[in-house]
Chain A
Amino acid sequence: MNFDYAFILSTLPAFLNAVGVTLQVGFIAIGTSLLVALINATILVFRTPYLQRLVGLYVELARNTPLLIQLFFVYFALPALGIKVSGFAAAIITMTFLGGAYLTEVLRAGIDAVPLAQLESGRSIGLSHGQLLRYVILPQAGILGLPSLFANFIFLLKETTVVSAVAVPEILYTTKSYIALYYKTY
């Protein structure tokens, strides 16, 4: 093997930049996914009619279609419908769509593990829906669901590399461009 160290070094800044973008997309997506999951969890905990069905549908759809298809939809189909999104925005929207569904499942599992009696106990002292969620259910669901929550964060960070396909200057994309430019894989 004959590594061209000078070449690898020269591409390093671009790679570091790409890692930065990946992390950026990843962390923003984790935040927005958590937000989506929290809203969904609220709907599920309080058995909001109709919306509850919608959440179920969304989770199934997001989890059963390949990430790339979702990404292409956001990046190519949305503009066709007149909604213009940048590569960066498309990446975050897609990651949120997927991540929201996975984290909804994590929260749902945690919430299911909290006994119904805790809900009634909290209700009986006059807590509102929001207070129940915040002080009674989520702390208990969160503790129970913590390991799988972290596993899903890691999963989301890894999936972020897929977004390279839509021209975010990100690891995979950087690699591919350099391969295309120089026909070198190392």
Chain B
Amino acid sequence: MAERNPAGVPVLNGIDLQVKTGEVIVILGPSGCGKSTLLRCLNGLEVAHSGSLNFAGRELLDKGTDWRKVRQQIGMVFQSYHLFPHMNVLDNLLLGPLKVQKRDRREARDQAEALLARVGLSDKRDAFPRQLSGGQQQRIAIVRPLCMNPHVMLFDEVTAALDPEMVKEVLEVIQGLARDGMTLLIVTHEMAFARAVADRIVFMDGGRILEQNPPGIFFTNPQTARAQQFLEKFSYVAALPQTTQTKELELL
């Protein structure tokens, strides 16, 4: 799969990624390497110019693809929440189920309230986004696509805009989804979280996937020099390779 920016320079190139149902993928890589672009290609916010994108047995890069249908099955959460500021929490959550999926109001509302309870925000259903903390808004923003019963969820640095004390409450929600067996693709800079939640780490640089490995291997024994350099910046990760090890690996 490849994607180009307006200048014609490929932003993504030769991306070959297969995700199984129930798998939790964490995408790591330096800023500007194309992580967001990759996620956005998966739900059609960005259109890949060449290659193939297969979802549930269907080719999504075909002209006839109904992205509105696909987006109901592939939920996305953004870095800055992007809730609808003119609607209260419940209306934010129900817009998709009622207007896009045309579901019964009572049934959709019951589901929304159950999900709200699950993220500990039952008492906020009538609040407006501006009345909520960043962590609360982000938990609502996670519930919003969940209300449409998606098969896959995409998370693009969803804790990057949060104060440190709110990061945990959001990550716990995602961890809960992972435990439930939902398919997740997560872009994050929270290394400890990545290590704990991922079935597989996908490391990107310069619009390419440089390596894909289980976290146990990636964090202790990265296969590429770029990944080692990248991990050195997160020295607080307990199992980071020693400097001497790193040098040896570079020689290999």
Contacts and interface: CB of A to CB of B under 8 A. Distances in A.
A123 B45 contact: yes
A98 B212 CA distance: 60
Contacts of B140: none
Contacts, number: 58
Instruction: Tell me what chain B mostly uses at the interface: helix, strand, loop, or mixed.
Output: mixed
Interface string A116-132: 01101111111110010
Contact of B100 (A118, A120, A127, A143): A127
A131 B99 contact: yes
Given A127-B95, A127-B99, A121 B71 contact: no
Contacts of A135: 84, 95, 99
Interface residues of B, number: 24
Contacts of A117: 78, 80, 82
A126 B80 contact: no
B75 interface: yes
A139 interface: yes
Contact of A125 (B71, B85, B86): B71
A126 B72 contact: yes
Instruction: Tell me what chain A mostly uses at the interface: helix, strand, loop, or mixed.
Output: helix
A140 B82 CA distance: 13
Nearest to B96: A125
Interface residues of A, number: 17
Contacts of A143: 86
A125 B100 contact: yes
B76 A124 contact: yes
A136 interface: yes
Contact of A126 (B69, B83, B84, B85): B69
Contact of B78 (A121, A127, A131, A140): A121
B84 A124 contact: no
B43 interface: yes
Given A118-B82, A131-B100, A125 B148 contact: yes
B55 to A, nearest CB: 14
A135 B45 CA distance: 19
Contacts of A131: 99-100
A121 B43 CA distance: 12
| Most B Cβ at <10 Å: residue of A128, A135, A143 | A135
B103 to A, nearest CB: 12
B71 A124 contact: yes
Nearest to B85: A140
A139 B96 contact: no
Interface in B66-81: 67-69, 71-72, 75-76, 78, 80
Contacts of A124: 43, 45, 71, 75-76, 78, 145
Given A121-B84, A143-B86, 20 more contacts: A118-B82, A120-B78, A121-B82, A122-B84, A123-B45, A123-B67, A124-B45, A124-B71, A125-B71, A125-B96, A125-B145, A126-B68, A126-B96, A126-B148, A128-B68, A128-B100, A135-B95, A135-B99, A136-B84, A139-B86
5 contacts: A117-B78, A125-B75, A125-B96, A126-B100, A128-B68
5 tightest A-B CB contacts, nearest first? A121-B82, A125-B96, A126-B71, A126-B100, A124-B76
Interface of A: 117-118, 120-128, 131, 135-136, 139-140, 143
